């Protein structure tokens, strides 16, 4: 099923409740957590997630761009995250597996994320444990970058691998998504779409969400 997940990295943090209410027609709220170490930028963390959880029932899709996420998955789950994305480049395979297991035990959706230069094969150890694979279509760290077209082949490989294993895993894309770049991603097998600047720079955010949904459904 197609899901639209606007990234609040492009929202106005002084008016976060207002900005999240303006995207109520979306499916998820994408929360980008950056530690200034795994990525060269710092964004928001646990207290902001707790505040957001208080005023919305929307699914909170938390993208951890942090070093060794295993250290924090319990705190993010307790703060209200529904989907917890861990970068596989951020720790050893053993620790990433442990993080996914812990997330599942906590009743949340475990997800792995891959940077643009990480190949599809790197996801292999994690398929059976995760409910979602997030394919970055820009280098993580900043909103407003241009979509890397070469990532569609990776999406296709991951979708094929899920089908081969009989898994109905969600495949999410993040970075430079517009009503145009969403089309090749949906065609390649992605079904969850993050969009930051495309949604929050639009005058009418519901309209922008509807345009994304329509483009993905038609693809
Ligand atoms: C980038 C973040 C993205 C970002 C997307 O590191 O993971 O979620 O907010 O922003 P746009 O859609 O503007 O590329
Ligand atoms: Zn993100």
Tens of pLDDT, residues 65-101: 999 999 999 999 999 999 999 999 999 999 999 999 9
What's the pLDDT score for residue 105?
Answer: 98
Distance CA 19, CA 207 (A): 14
Does ligand 1 have an atom closer than 6 angstroms to the CB of 174?
Answer: yes
Band (pLDDT 50/70/90 cuts) for residue 173 is very high
Q: How far is the CA of 43 from the centre of ligand 2 (A)?
A: 11
- Scanning the structure block, which residue is given the tokens 């710092």? 42
Ligand 2 ion local residues (Cβ < 5 A): 32, 63, 174
Does ligand 1 have an atom closer than 6 angstroms to the CB of 45?
Answer: no
Q: How far is the CA of 148 from the centre of ligand 1 (A)?
A: 12
Band (pLDDT 50/70/90 cuts) for residue 171 is very high
Q: How far is the CA of 217 from the centre of ligand 1 (A)?
A: 22
Q: How far is CA 210 from CA 19, 31, 90, 123, 194, in A?
A: 16, 20, 34, 31, 13
Band (pLDDT 50/70/90 cuts) for residue 28 is very high
Instruction: Say what percent of the chain tops pLDDT 90.
Output: 100
Work out which ligand 1 atom sits closest to the CA atom of 140: 6
CB 197 within 8 A of CB 10: yes
- The catalytic residue positions are 32, 174
Does ligand 1 have an atom closer than 6 angstroms to the CB of 6?
Answer: no
**Section 115-140 average pLDDT:** 98
Kindly state the tokens that stand for 180.
Answer: 């145009």
Q: Does the model's pTM come out above 0.85?
A: yes
**Section 100-106 average pLDDT:** 98
């Amino acid at each position: 099923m197609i899901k639209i997940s606007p990234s609040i990295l492009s929202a106005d943090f002084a008016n976060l409740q207002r900005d999240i209410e303006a995207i109520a027609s979306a499916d998820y709220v994408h929360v980008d957590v950056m530690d200034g170490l795994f990525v060269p930028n710092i964004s928001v963390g646990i207290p902001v997630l707790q505040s957001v959880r208080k005023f919305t029932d929307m699914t909170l899709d938390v993208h951890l761009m942090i070093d060794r996420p295993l250290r924090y998955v319990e705190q993010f789950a307790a703060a209200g995250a529904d989907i917890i994305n861990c970068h596989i480049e951020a720790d050893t395979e053993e620790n990433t597996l442990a993080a996914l297991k812990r997330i599942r035990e906590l009743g949340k959706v475990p997800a792995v994320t891959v940077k643009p230069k990480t190949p599809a094969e790197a996801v292999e150890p994690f398929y059976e444990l995760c409910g979602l694979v997030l394919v970055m279509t820009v280098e993580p760290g900043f909103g407003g970058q241009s979509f890397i077209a070469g990532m569609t082949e990776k999406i296709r490989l991951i979708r094929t691998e899920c089908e081969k294993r009989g898994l109905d895993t969600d495949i999410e894309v993040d970075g430079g998504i517009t009503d145009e770049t969403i089309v090749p991603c949906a065609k390649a097998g992605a079904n969850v779409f993050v969009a930051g600047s495309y949604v929050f720079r639009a005058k009418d955010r519901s309209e922008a969400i509807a345009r994304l949904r329509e483009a993905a459904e038609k693809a």
